[in-house]
């Protein structure tokens, strides 16, 4: 992760933690903007991209409370979460572009990025599909006495999935070092949360299973971080938890979704709840200059410009790598259909 070493004009750093959180959120925001640009330029792999713009405080606030050795799973809107856990934006962008230099050598794309080295057990395009993996990871951590926790990130749409409730029950029953994080961006595709469920206090469902359940407003990243810190500390000593972070999804479900199910007035009001701008305003109130923050923003912009350039200039994976990393290292790779056809035709 790029670190920017600068001083204020008056050298009055009153809250360096908020500056760090702001910097991380700005990196997530800018990265997602470049991902959108990659799609528009026709350079992304596949036809679906899900941006997390508006949800930066959830990713940064929770991830800043995690430690080295912790593991996690994400949903199909997980770019910002992985970046907040220390992912290299070049490798991420290359993966989203389907290039050989990506984290999964171009085979995972936007919705299936994984990296065991950073504890990323995998993103998942299935709603709620990655949640049960953290139960297994939590059980392994408990038995191995590693002190690590495992965190499941998912959207409010997964609150209607039975696998979540099975997972919460097992985590509570076995006192596992697990934290469930629901990023409630108010919409499951085109369905508003209050049209999907009567009980919108999502954390109360977790309490019923015996978990520490808390809801927070995602406008303030410091509030998210402080709450996540308490829950992760508890999880490490066998008290699993659930955190619901309320935010607003700035754009449609996917890149091509124009949000016809939301009024323009609603979107205007919703985007006023911008955690990045809220943090920036608070930093300025503490005496930090706009110019100082502009320098940070420009540096991050340059970093993400380099990431998109790296992705575009990288090569796609060769056809010969089709089955690589799919089968065990000692298993013979299947014969591609075209190769088999050519071999059969050559006999005639």
Q: What would the pLDDT profile of 118-152 be if each residue is shown by its tens digit?
A: 999 999 989 999 999 999 999 999 999 999 999 99
Supply the pLDDT for residue 5: 42
Supply the pLDDT for residue 48: 76
Domain ranges, residue 294? 16-347
182, part of any domain: yes
pLDDT of residue 6 exceeding 50, the answer is no
223, part of any domain: yes
**What's the CA gap between 338 and 319, in Å, rounded?**
11
2, part of any domain: no
Supply the pLDDT for residue 336: 80
104, part of any domain: yes
On whether the CB atoms of residues 149 and 138 are closer than 8 A, the answer is: yes
On whether the CB atoms of residues 211 and 152 are closer than 8 A, the answer is: no
CATH number at residue 219: 3.40.50.970
Supply the pLDDT for residue 15: 66
Enter the DSSP assignment of 115.
Answer: B
**Residues near 263 by Cβ (< 8 Å), separated by ≥ 6?**
none
Domain count, the chain: 1
3, part of any domain: no
Angle at 70 (CA atoms; ends 66, 73), nearest 5 degrees: 95
166, part of any domain: yes
| pLDDT bucket at 36, cuts 50 / 70 / 90 | very high
pTM: 0.90
| pLDDT bucket at 291, cuts 50 / 70 / 90 | very high
6, part of any domain: no
Enter the DSSP assignment of 185.
Answer: -
Half-sphere exposure of 185 (CA within 13 A, CB side): 32
CA distances from 202 to 69, 226, 248 (A): 28, 19, 16
pLDDT of residue 14 exceeding 70, the answer is no
pLDDT of residue 4 exceeding 80, the answer is no
Q: What would the pLDDT profile of 172-182 be if each residue is shown by its tens digit?
A: 999 999 999 99
Q: What would the pLDDT profile of 54-67 be if each residue is shown by its tens digit?
A: 999 999 999 999 99
111, part of any domain: yes
Supply the pLDDT for residue 273: 94
Q: What is the mean pLDDT of residues 13-23?
A: 83
CB burial string 152-189: b at 16+ within 10 A, e below: bbbbbbbbebebbbebbebbbeeebbbbbbbbbbbbbe
């Amino acid at each position: 992760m790029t670190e920017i070493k600068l001083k204020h004009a008056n050298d009055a750093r009153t809250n360096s933690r908020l500056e760090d959180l702001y910097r991380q959120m700005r990196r997530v925001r800018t990265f997602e903007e470049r991902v959108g640009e990659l799609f528009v330029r026709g350079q992304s792999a596949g036809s679906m991209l899900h941006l997390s713009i508006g949800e930066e405080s959830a990713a940064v606030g929770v991830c800043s409370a995690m430690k080295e050795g912790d593991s996690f799973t994400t949903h199909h809107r997980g770019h910002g979460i992985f970046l907040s856990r220390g992912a290299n934006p070049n490798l991420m962008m290359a993966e989203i572009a389907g290039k050989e230099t990506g984290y999964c050598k171009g085979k995972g794309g936007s919705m299936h990025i994984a990296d065991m080295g950073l504890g990323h057990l995998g993103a998942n395009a299935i709603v709620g599909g990655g949640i049960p993996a953290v139960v297994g990871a939590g059980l392994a951590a408990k038995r191995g006495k590693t002190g690590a926790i495992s965190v499941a990130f998912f959207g409010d749409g997964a609150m209607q999935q039975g696998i979540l409730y099975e997972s919460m029950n097992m985590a509570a029953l076995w006192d596992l070092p697990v934290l469930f994080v629901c990023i409630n961006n108010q919409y499951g595709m085109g369905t508003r949360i209050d049209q999907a469920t009567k009980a919108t206090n999502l954390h109360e469902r977790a309490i019923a299973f015996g978990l520490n359940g808390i809801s927070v407003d995602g406008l303030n990243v410091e509030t998210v971080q402080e709450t996540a810190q308490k829950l992760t500390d508890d999880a490490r000593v066998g008290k699993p938890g659930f955190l619901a972070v309320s935010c607003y999804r700035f754009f449609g479900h996917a890149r091509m979704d124009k949000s016809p199910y939301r009024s323009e007035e609603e979107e205007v009001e919703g985007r006023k709840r911008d955690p990045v701008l809220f943090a920036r305003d608070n930093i300025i109130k503490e005496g930090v200059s706009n110019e100082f923050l502009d320098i940070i923003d420009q540096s991050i912009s340059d970093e993400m410009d380099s990431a998109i350039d790296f992705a575009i200039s990288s090569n796609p994976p060769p056809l010969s790598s089709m089955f690589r990393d799919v089968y065990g290292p000692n298993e013979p790779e299947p014969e591609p259909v075209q190769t088999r056809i050519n071999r059969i035709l050559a006999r005639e």
